[in-house]
Copies of this chain bind each other. A is one copy, B any other.
Amino acid sequence: MNRVIRVNMSDLTVKEEELSEKLIYDAGRGLTSKIVCEEVPPKCHPLGDKNKLVFSPGMVTGTKAPCSGRISVGAKSPLTGGIKESNAGTPTSQKIARLGIKAIIIEGMPEDDSKFYKLKIDKDSAELLSANEIIGKGMEQTNKHLISEYGEYIGIIGVGPAGEMRLSAAGICFNDPENRASRYAGRGGLGAVMGSKGLRAIIVDETDAPGVKIQDKELFNQGQKKLVEAIRNHDLTKPGGVLNAYGTSAVINVMSEVGALPVRNFSKGRFEGAEKTSGEAIAEAIEKRGGGMTGHGCHPGCIIRCSNVYPRPDGSEHVSCIEYESDWAFGANCEIDNLDDIAELIRLCNDIGLDTIETGAAVGVAMEADVIPFGDGKKAIKLLEEIEKGTPLGRIIGSGASVTGQVFSQYKVPTVKKQSMPAYDPRGVKGIGVTYSTSPMGADHTAGYAIAAEIFGVTGKLDPLTTEGKVELSQNLQISTAFLDSTGYCLFIAFAIMDIEDGFIGVLETINGLYGTSFTAEDVSKIGMDIISEEREFNRLAGFNEVNDRLPEFMKEEELPPHNNVFDISDSDLDKVWDENK
């Protein structure tokens, strides 16, 4: 059972294939990137018929391995012009895996670009149906409609109006365990690719799914136990630990304290409104208002449970979830210190189908250009409503920070490879700047989360303000992350498995138990490096070179208060990240 579903949107046909032998151990990012590299011409127009959109659950997804419900999505990015892998945690990934599906490949493009379809997948077949009834609808209504049509046990993948409009900040939305349209493979405009294919939604029905066959159950169970143990024993990931109790937004206060929380479109590192927009403040509001929850999980089997459901003042549900990156993007980055405004901005992104990071960064650049004032949450909400309406201003913001900067002729545009930076200012945490610069994905914290060492001291603390060891740190993390993104495990298990060796062994054992393989720690590095090499080769053929592996000029010129540092890792050091591995 290694099903590959290949959907041709030009002639509206669906074919089932078996995964080729040489890809048999690939999954998640490893598989989506391989298929993109093999089948997509690197120079093609990202919104043209030659681009392909690929979905793949991780290696161990669909099993009871903890925190393993990630799905990977790949394509050529309309935002960066390079290869893009973005992933999300969702029960839908588990359903796809249990149906024996290793990859869904969407290719071609309908002649008529106003037509939209939905793809329905079950244990026997996959078929394309008209999506007329959901065209133009937000993701909230879309999910409601699809559930009323297909029942509540389906998995839903969809794009909102932003994807229909093929906006470069459009993400791909997955349902959470309660069927909220809230889990996003947000980055790089993959929603625009899905929109350009005329595909509005995918419905996954796992009735009578065969499930995932485990080759060596004993080994798998042993590994699973070790990993659960490690996660339950690490301070960051354990139940009742900081991520579980306060969600990822617990990092707001930490980063502001450190002086590297990007504030006011990356002009300072400490936010006066940090406390008011922190994970602690979110937990307090949830407690006081009722109707929400902390410790929410994005998929069954997660034991970290860092997500939340945020309530309105009256206790009704407002949005799930206020993550650190989303909180920062509209909060500190836009100097908005009102959590209810931030919640509404996130809700709008979820509903319209937008990446919160890219959209928040674009709003920050628009504020820098005086389109609306910094700190004005209500006007920011109006700006997002413009995206939904598809007005020219809305389309500018929905095209991301780089285009917004170009249209409004701004100097300070916090992007790498045209993708906006997330919530760590590289002048204040230099290792993450190496990742932003050199990841084939563009600025992306998840591609090599140097913060783990520089701020949280995982595997030993490195001074965030110095340059030493940062190239090596980022390189190692990028390589191991490329592997982790292929497993289906959540990135957050990394805290536990980097600090607790048995946890890492557990990961290997679950994989080896499942596939009957004997992957070692060395193989992990090799697999990770192979993935990145392939991605970088795609980018090279698409026209990227070392000049694309750089932070924007202002980060080398303008000092970041309070530490008044610039980003001073040299170009030649940045080039060492991948040169040594050629």
Contacts and interface: CB of A to CB of B under 8 A. Distances in A.
Contacts of A407: 392, 395-396, 399, 403, 407
Contacts of A403: 403, 406-407
A476 interface: no
A548 interface: yes
A406 B168 contact: yes
Interface in A520-554: 541-543, 545, 547-548, 550, 552-554
A409 B545 contact: no
A9 interface: no
A423 B371 CA distance: 35
A43 interface: yes
B547 A543 contact: yes
A391 B547 CA distance: 33
Interface stretch (A44-52, A208-216, A477-485, A495-503): A44-52
A553 B43 contact: yes
Contacts of A542: 547
A165 B409 contact: yes
A84 interface: no
A239 to B, nearest CB: 44
Interface residues of A, number: 37
A543 B168 CA distance: 22
Contacts of A409: 47, 78, 165-168, 192, 196
Contacts of A196: 409
A393 B545 CA distance: 33
A153 interface: no
A548 B48 CA distance: 18
A554 B43 CA distance: 12
Interface secondary structure of A, over-half rule: loop
A80 to B, nearest CB: 12
B392 A44 contact: no
Nearest to A189: B409
A456 interface: no
A519 interface: no
A332 B353 CA distance: 38
Contacts of A150: none
A215 to B, nearest CB: 44
Contacts of A165: 409
A110 B548 CA distance: 29
Interface string A364-383: 00000001000000000000
B553 A411 contact: no
Nearest to A168: B406
Contacts of A47: 409-411
A578 interface: no
Nearest to A45: B553
Interface string A37-66: 000000111011010000000000000000
25 contacts: A43-B547, A44-B553, A45-B411, A45-B552, A45-B554, A47-B409, A47-B410, A48-B553, A50-B553, A165-B409, A196-B409, A391-B392, A392-B393, A392-B396, A395-B407, A395-B408, A396-B396, A399-B406, A399-B407, A403-B403, A403-B406, A403-B407, A407-B407, A541-B547, A545-B545
